[in-house]
Amino acid sequence: MTSDALDGLLQRLGIELADRDTLGFALTHPSFSSEQGGEDYERLEFLGDAVIAYSIASHLYVAFPDLPEGDLTRMKVALISGKTLAQVARDLGFADAIRVGKGAARDATRDSVLENAFEAVVGAISLELGIAPARDFVLRVLGDRLDPRTLLATTSDAKNLLQELAQKRGLGLPSYEITAEEGPAHLRQFTAAVRVDGALVGEGVGGSKQAAERAAAAAGLETLEAR
């Protein structure tokens, strides 16, 4: 990437970085480094992932002092999902900045690649400027996604969030099973279990099968987040 291209990206990001080499690595797909040599974004991605998780968790903890851990977890998962981070990267013009190998030209527009590059750039920011500026950057570019009304709406979408998290970790689709049905006809209570990659990760109870599955998914989110 040319110096002018890096300057343009930094302007869009609203930050200043003196270490252009590290930023360049953050925008280098493994296919490019395999062909040309040098580092790629994978190590920086590892660091940036942790910085993003901390940034969002600390923000939610302060912004929603009365919410239980489960609700905070669901909000956090929604914000760090691959689709969310990929869209942020796409809006910032990352697709035009990522260096990919000759045989992987289309990869620069894939959600997974955009997500990885965004995480790597956050890692690069934290290395040069520190955790606090990196956190400020993450929260700033998330923008309206941090609106309390938007975040509160995610607490009822546990099944979709669990599916996204499981797929992000390469664990396949969650599977649900109604394991118990109790009570009179007008006041039934259902118990649901959810498994991910064959392992039981959550159980939940509700007045309908759908509600029980949502409760199980919420429990499953907490289980996966704790791993």
Query: Which distant-in-sequence residues (6+ apart) come within 8 Å of 141 by Cβ?
Result: 13, 88, 92
Plot region of 86 (φ>0 → left; ψ -120 to 50 → alpha; else → beta): alpha
Query: What's the whole-number mean pLDDT along residues 42-65?
Result: 96
d(CA 227, CA 214) in angstroms, rounded, equals: 20
Amino acid at 45: E
Identify the domain boundary among 131, 155, 179.
155
Query: Which distant-in-sequence residues (6+ apart) come within 8 Å of 57 by Cβ?
Result: 72, 76
Q: Please check whether residues 43 and 148 belong to one and the same domain.
A: yes
Q: Please check whether residues 129 and 170 belong to one and the same domain.
A: no
Give the other-Cβ count within 10 Å of 37's Cβ. 7
Which of the residues 40, 45, 49, 71 is marked catalytic?
49
Which of the residues 45, 119, 164, 225 is marked catalytic?
119
Query: Which distant-in-sequence residues (6+ apart) come within 8 Å of 156 by Cβ?
Result: 214
Q: Please check whether residues 39 and 148 belong to one and the same domain.
A: yes
- Mean pLDDT is lowest, of 126-130, 150-154, 195-199, for 150-154
45 in catalytic set: no
The per-residue pLDDT for range 157-181, each reduced to its tens digit, is: 788 888 888 988 899 999 999 999 9
Identify the domain boundary among 137, 155, 173.
155
Report CA-CA distances (Å) from 88 to 78, 81, 84, 139, 173: 13, 11, 6, 11, 25
Query: What's the whole-number mean pLDDT along residues 201-218?
Result: 86
What the block records as the tokens of 210 is 């759908």
> Number of folded domains in the chain?
2
Q: Please check whether residues 112 and 9 belong to one and the same domain.
A: yes
pLDDT at 105 over 70: no
Which CATH number belongs to the domain containing residue 166 in this structure? 3.30.160.20
Q: Please check whether residues 123 and 89 belong to one and the same domain.
A: yes
% of the chain residues with pLDDT over 70: 93
Q: Please check whether residues 75 and 178 belong to one and the same domain.
A: no
pLDDT at 47 over 90: yes
Task: Name the residue range of residue 45's domain.
Answer: 3-155
* Residue position matching structure tokens 């690649």: 113
Identify the domain boundary among 128, 155, 182.
155
User: Residue 176 forms beta bridges with which residues?
Assistant: 194
3-state SS, residue 102: helix
Q: Please check whether residues 220 and 132 belong to one and the same domain.
A: no
Which CATH number belongs to the domain containing residue 90 in this structure? 1.10.1520.10
3-state SS, residue 22: helix
Q: Please check whether residues 95 and 38 belong to one and the same domain.
A: yes
Q: Please check whether residues 140 and 34 belong to one and the same domain.
A: yes
Query: What's the whole-number mean pLDDT along residues 30-51?
Result: 89
Q: Please check whether residues 14 and 120 belong to one and the same domain.
A: yes
Q: Please check whether residues 119 and 59 belong to one and the same domain.
A: yes
Residue 37: predicted pLDDT: 80
Q: Please check whether residues 37 and 74 belong to one and the same domain.
A: yes
pTM attached to this predicted model: 0.72
Query: What's the whole-number mean pLDDT along residues 80-108?
Result: 83
128 in catalytic set: no
